[in-house]
Structure formats: C-alpha cells, structure tokens
Amino acid sequence: MTEQDWKRLLRQVREGLVVPVVGSELLRDEAGHNLLSLAAQRLLQGYGLQAAEPELAPFLALPRAVAQVHLMCQTDLQDLYAEAHDALEAVLSEHQYQAPVALQQLAEISDFKLWVSATPDDLLARCLRQRGALTEVVHAPKLPTNEWQDLPPDWSSRGGAHLLYLFGRARAAPLFAAHEEDVLEYAHNILTRGSQVPTAFLGALQERSLLLLGCSFPDWLGRFLLRVTNKSRLSEKTKREWLVDRPDAEQGGLTHFLRAYSRDTELFSDLEPSAFVAELHRRWKLEQAAPKPASLPNPAEPPPAAVFFVSYSRGSDQAAAQALVQTLRDLGASGPADVWFDISTLEPGDNFAQRIFDGIAGCRYFVPLISRGAEARDEAFVFREWRRANERAEGMNRDFILPLIVDAEFQPERLSHVISRGWREHLDLGHAPGGLPNERTRQRLERLLRESRRPLV
C-alpha cells in the first residue's frame, strides 16, 4: 500500500465508515498454526483419516474435512456439527490456543464499531469483550426464535462493539456452516431474506466500506459477499472496499473480476493479513497519540454564519454527507465559515442541540440529504433540524432549502415521507448519488458559493 492508501483508509476508519470482515487467515498463532486447519486435522484423525487436500485455504479446511468424513465413513451430516464443534473446542483447550496477536491488535482499534466474523469460532468475540460491551448477532437459518437478534436501531449511540457471525457460531447443533453446502445455503438465505436474517445489520454494511482481512473466500463467495453488501451493482457503487489476503491465496478469478467491474475495490497482497493488521494498528495508535482538534465549536463562541449547513441522517447517510462536504471544499469552500458539518456519529445531546439550531439560524443555505435510509427511520434528530429549517424558510423571500437526493437513483416518489414537507412542490430537488453531485447540482452549488462571497450592496 502507498502512503496515500494508508491515509485514505485511516481517515475512513476514524470516521466510522469501515467494517472489518475477519477471515480465517487471522486465526494463525505465532507458530503459523491455523485454528480451523488444526480442527480439521483433529476431526479427520478421529476417523483415522488424513486430509485429501492438505494445502487447502483455512476457510475450506474444516468444511472439506466434514465432507470427507461424511463420504468415506458414511457418517450422518447431522452428527458432524457436534463433532466439528468438539474438534474446535479440543484444539482451543488442548493446545491452550490463545487469540492471535492480529486479532488482539484489530480489536484494540476502537473506531471499529461494527464487525463481521467469517469464521464460526469466538476468538474475535473474546478480544472484543476485553475492550468493552459486545453485542453478538448470529446469522443461522435454524437459530431458535428466542435467540435471534439484529443490530439495535440505536446501536451508534450505545457504544461498544457489534459483531455479526455471517456463517453462524459453532455449537453442537446445525447452527453454523460446517460444510460447503451450508455455506451455499447461508448465502442463499441472505439473498432471499429467508429465516432469521439480520436485515438491519446487513443494511448497515451496505452503507459502509468493508475491509476484508484474510478471508480467502472461494471466487463465487467473494463476489456474492461484495454484491450483497452494496446497494447498487458493483460497477456503479460509490463506496470503497479493501481486500487483504495472502500472496498465494487463490484469488485469480476474483481479482480479474474486481479489476474489470469493481475498480473501487482495492486488492492488497503485498503484506500478509496479520502484517497488514499490525501496520494498521501501529498507524492508528500514532494517530490516537496525536493531539486532536475540537470536533465542535466552543458553545461559548457565537455560531458561525456558514454558507451551507449540511443536514443528514447519522444512521444512514454519513458517508454521503462527507463526500458532499469534500465536493464543496473542492469547489472552494473552506472550513466552518463556509460549511457547517457535524462529523459526530452520535445523535446530538442537549448540550449541542441548541448549537445546531443556532447554526441553522445563521447559515445561508440549508442542505438536507434525502435518502431511502432516512425515509426508513421512524425517529431521528435530523427531522428536528429539517423542521427548524422549514420554520425559518417561512419568513424568507429567497432560496434557502436545497434538498439533495443521495440515493443512486433519482426517485422522489419513493421518498414520500421525507419529501412530504412541501419540498417536492416548491423546491428544486438536486441529485448527488452517494454525496457526489451530478453536473447540474454541482454547477448550482458552485454558483451559490460564488454569489455568497459577493459584497452586499
């Protein structure tokens, strides 16, 4: 990775826009032994077998071992869930297998709030619990209803970490993907929104960039995961992904596919996944040690009369808001004097609510970001911002509210709740997919910024 690559990644990590997907390659101990490969060996040894494919990527080691036992020993698949689980537990206890350093380092990066585990073990969860509160969300089609849970609506304000087990969590029951047909079934269950699918968690993933670390997925599964965690087709997506894998990982087909159709997915194999995590952790720690500027103005100071006040749903549209702010800066806007933008991922508390209302009262143009994500929210502080802007607009004799639709498609009719405030009938709706204005909207913003700097006569 270049220095610019690292800066870009760390900036998005800092802003809460990246979700790590933790794969099997990060389960290697200091001696290079992989938990899943050791568990596969343990399972096979119990039946007097040796691995038919000893050089398999760890993600496939246990599923192929289960299939080998099933075919060669005529063992019922239903019985092999418990045996695969027991093999994992035996490795963890007999080898006193500790969480690899890479997992511990990754878990220390507190800017990661959402996590995805692509393996059935609980080593990542153990590391995250050492950091603080942890919510575990398990995707398993046969999970008992009383055990199912999804990402809480207020997850961003709760604090702590939220972990999704994408292919279930190992138990002595068919509640995790123990073999390859299970992997296919779990993928199909997500695609069809079948039983016990954590739709809220998946929705949050669609709004953020993925950092895939040592997953070594089969070609088809890598393509599927990237597509299902994006709202639009890969060739049209507006967010970035990072895929970090071993130099010898079998990623040829996936690499070719991504370079052709998903150029915003960056592939890195110059570092082992564990070495990549170590470098990411080192750089993040250096940033944490550096003094940080205040994220909000001092409430004792008068509110700045910004040109643009960017108002957005913190639960769904932060990435789009940041992209728009960067566009405004590219057009010549500079600092809070030109753009009011609260980068906090938390809903504002009483201490800052009045400060935000003062910003609305002092800005020249109010720019609400409209999306299907905002449409789906029942309650949020952003709606108070919009109501306050409408109240101010009633006493004005010029353009003030500049709504921008930030969905990929421009379909105002599908946003009837958030555009029911008279905006559709009386205002010129702009289009900025993912926060990137189309040419017409960009020209309008540039013109308004230029006009705002002319002296009043």
Give residue 367's Cα distance to chain centre: 25
Contact 320, 430 (CB under 8 A): no
Enumerate the domain spans of the chain. Answer: 3-32+96-289, 308-452
- Give the CATH class of 308-452: alpha beta
How much is the pLDDT for 425? 60
- Same topology, domains 3-32+96-289 and 308-452? Answer is yes
CA dist 323 and 311 (Å) reads: 13
Specify the pLDDT at position 418. 65
CA distance 328 to 344: 19
Cβ(297)–Cβ(336) below 8 Å? yes
Distance CA 218, CA 214 (A): 12
- Helices (DSSP H) in 194-338: which residue ranges? 199-206, 219-228, 252-261, 273-289, 318-330, 335-338
For residue 219, give the DSSP letter: H
- Residue 231 pLDDT: 83
Instruction: Give the H or E element holding residue 98.
Output: none
| Chain centroid, CA 27 distance in Å | 21
- Sign for the CA dihedral angle at 104, 107, 111, 116 comes to positive
> Rounded to an integer, what distance in angstroms lies between the CA atom of residue 332 and that of residue 328?
7
pLDDT tens-digit profile, the chain (457 residues): 789 889 989 999 988 899 999 999 999 888 888 999 999 999 999 999 988 777 777 888 999 999 999 999 999 999 999 999 999 999 988 766 678 999 999 999 999 999 999 999 999 999 999 888 899 999 999 999 999 999 988 887 777 899 999 999 999 999 999 999 999 999 999 999 999 999 999 999 998 999 999 998 988 999 999 999 988 888 776 677 888 987 655 556 777 787 787 777 877 877 899 999 999 999 999 988 876 554 444 444 444 578 999 999 887 888 899 899 989 988 888 766 788 887 643 444 445 677 788 889 889 999 999 998 888 887 788 888 998 898 888 888 888 999 999 999 888 887 876 675 556 566 788 999 999 999 999 999 999 988 887 654 4
Cα–Cα dist 302/22, whole Å? 46
User: 189 CB contacts (<8 Å, ≥6 apart)?
Assistant: 139, 141, 195, 196, 197
> Position of tokens 């080593």?
123
Q: Which residue has the tokens 């913003």?
A: 445
Q: Phi then psi for 61, rounded to 5 degrees?
A: -60, -50
Tell me what pLDDT residue 301 has: 46
CA–CA gap between residue 267 and residue 289 (Å, rounded) = 29
Work out the number of other CB atoms within 10 angstroms of the CB of residue 74.
Answer: 7
The C-alpha atoms of residue 96 and residue 99 are separated, in whole angstroms, by 10
Q: Which CATH number fits domain 3-32+96-289: 3.40.50.1220, 3.30.379.10, 3.40.718.10, 1.10.240.10?
A: 3.40.50.1220
**pTM score of the predicted model:** 0.64
pLDDT, residue 261, reads: 79
Kindly report the backbone phi and psi dihedral angles of residue 369, in degrees, each rounded to the nearest multiple of 5, phi listed first. Answer: -95, 120
